[in-house]
């Protein structure tokens, strides 16, 4: 396949691009700034084209698709704001929502039928929600859990999932996977300072996200807009004094009174099991989390 990868200079974009090239696909890579020379040098023997573009610009996005030869067969859209910290909320929302619609609408209107986009566990409203508003209806959390975003970043992720649904209705036969990534790092050893109770102690390895990205393009047996939680099967919580708290102990310590329904049978025989149910990704995509 000829695949457009946006956000190709970023953590997920660069690794997805490399994985797709290694599997024999051709890639057009785009980012708002030129890709690092070291990255390009490491991929110089692959069929890779680079385009520098601002995806909030309709003419720029049209130009990418107009110049594609052959036309794109699939799109991996992971370009956008990765973290809203220190940014104007209006800018965060505008970049994520506008760039995503520009890319996805342009793709599907030109016949691309397999697309992947970067959503987030924060589509639910977690990490940047005001502490007094923290609430979860039930755990484990699946893709049907209600979404209550209040910050611009989380709201933008809810919106792009809704955009995917609308485009699949507009263009039947289209399928768009929205991957709800969690705190994403190369390995669990890099997560120590980042995994917090606001994200329910979940994390995703880069490899696991890339595997899900590729499977979302290549797997069979599903269509339409689907959302997938992509997270490790166990919580990450640094052991202190050689002890490891169980998931339910942590929930009681940090989320007491903030979870309506704790389905405790989920943790029977697996006391450090994740608060996120990834059954859907395992079933539809054939995915498993690997570090």
Residue 116 belongs to a domain? yes
| Residue with the larger pLDDT of the pair 229 and 187 | 229
Q: Concatenate the DSSP letters of all residues of 37-105 into one string.
A: HHHHHHTTTS-EEEEE--TT-HHHHHHHHHT-SSPPSEEEE--S-S--TTS-HHHHHHHHHHHHHHHHH
Query: Does the pLDDT value for residue 281 go beyond 50?
Result: yes
Q: How many domains does the chain have?
A: 1
The answer to whether 47 and 20 are in contact (CB under 8 A) is no
The token pair that represents 96 in the structure block: 């994520």
Distances in Å between the Cα of 249 and the Cα atoms of 192, 260, 264, 270 are 19, 16, 12, 13
When mean pLDDT is compared across 56-70, 128-142, 144-158, 192-206, the lowest value belongs to 192-206
Mean pLDDT of the chain: 93
Task: Residue 169: give the domain boundaries.
Answer: 2-285
Per-residue model confidence (pLDDT) at position 245: 85
Which residue do the tokens 């499977």 mark? 215
On whether residue 290 sits in a domain, the answer given is: no
Which of 34-48, 72-86, 108-122, 235-249 is the least confident region? 235-249
Residue 88 resides in a domain: yes
Q: Which pLDDT value is given to residue 191?
A: 52
pLDDT reported for residue 75: 98
Residue 183, both tokens: 């705190």
Residue 235 included in any domain: yes
Domain-embedded: residue 135:
yes
What is the pLDDT at residue 257?
A: 92
H-helix or E-strand spanning residue 157:
helix 152-170
Model pTM?
A: 0.94
Which CATH number belongs to the domain containing residue 18 in this structure?
3.40.50.720
The residue whose two tokens read 């995509």 is: 285
d(CA 126, CA 120): 10
Q: How confident is the model at residue 109 (pLDDT cuts 50, 70, 90)?
A: very high
- 250-270 pLDDT, tens digit per residue, is 999 889 999 999 999 999 999
CA–CA distance, 35 with 24 (Å, rounded to integer): 21
Does residue 291 form part of some domain? no
């Amino acid at each position: 396949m000829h695949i457009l990868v946006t956000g190709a200079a970023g953590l997920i974009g660069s690794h997805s691009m490399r994985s797709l090239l290694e599997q024999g696909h051709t890639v057009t890579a785009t980012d708002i700034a030129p890709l690092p020379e070291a990255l390009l040098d490491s991929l110089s023997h692959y069929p890779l084209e680079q385009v520098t573009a601002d995806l909030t610009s309709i003419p720029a996005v049209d130009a990418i698709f107009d110049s594609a030869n052959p036309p794109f067969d699939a799109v991996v859209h992971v370009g956008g704001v990765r973290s809203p910290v220190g940014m104007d909320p209006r800018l965060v929302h505008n970049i994520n929502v506008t760039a995503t619609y520009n890319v996805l609408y342009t793709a599907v209107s030109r016949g691309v039928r397999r697309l992947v986009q970067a959503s987030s566990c924060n589509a639910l409203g977690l990490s940047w929600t005001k502490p007094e508003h923290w609430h979860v209806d039930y755990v484990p959390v699946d893709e049907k859990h209600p979404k209550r975003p209040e910050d611009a970043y989380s709201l933008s992720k809810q919106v792009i999932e809704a955009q995917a649904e609308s485009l699949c209705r507009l263009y039947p036969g289209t399928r768009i996977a929205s991957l709800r990534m969690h705190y994403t790092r190369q390995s669990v050893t890099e997560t120590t300072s980042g995994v917090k109770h606001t994200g329910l102690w979940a994390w995703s390895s880069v490899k696991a996200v890339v595997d899900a990205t590729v499977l979302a393009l290549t797997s069979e047996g599903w269509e339409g807009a689907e959302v997938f939680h992509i997270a490790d099967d166990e919580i990450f919580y640094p052991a202190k004094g050689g002890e490891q708290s169980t998931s339910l102990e942590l929930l009681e310590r940090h989320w007491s009174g903030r979870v309506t329904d704790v389905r405790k049978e989920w943790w029977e025989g697996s006391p450090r099991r994740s608060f996120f149910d990834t059954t859907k990704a395992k079933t539809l995509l054939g995915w498993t989390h690997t570090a």
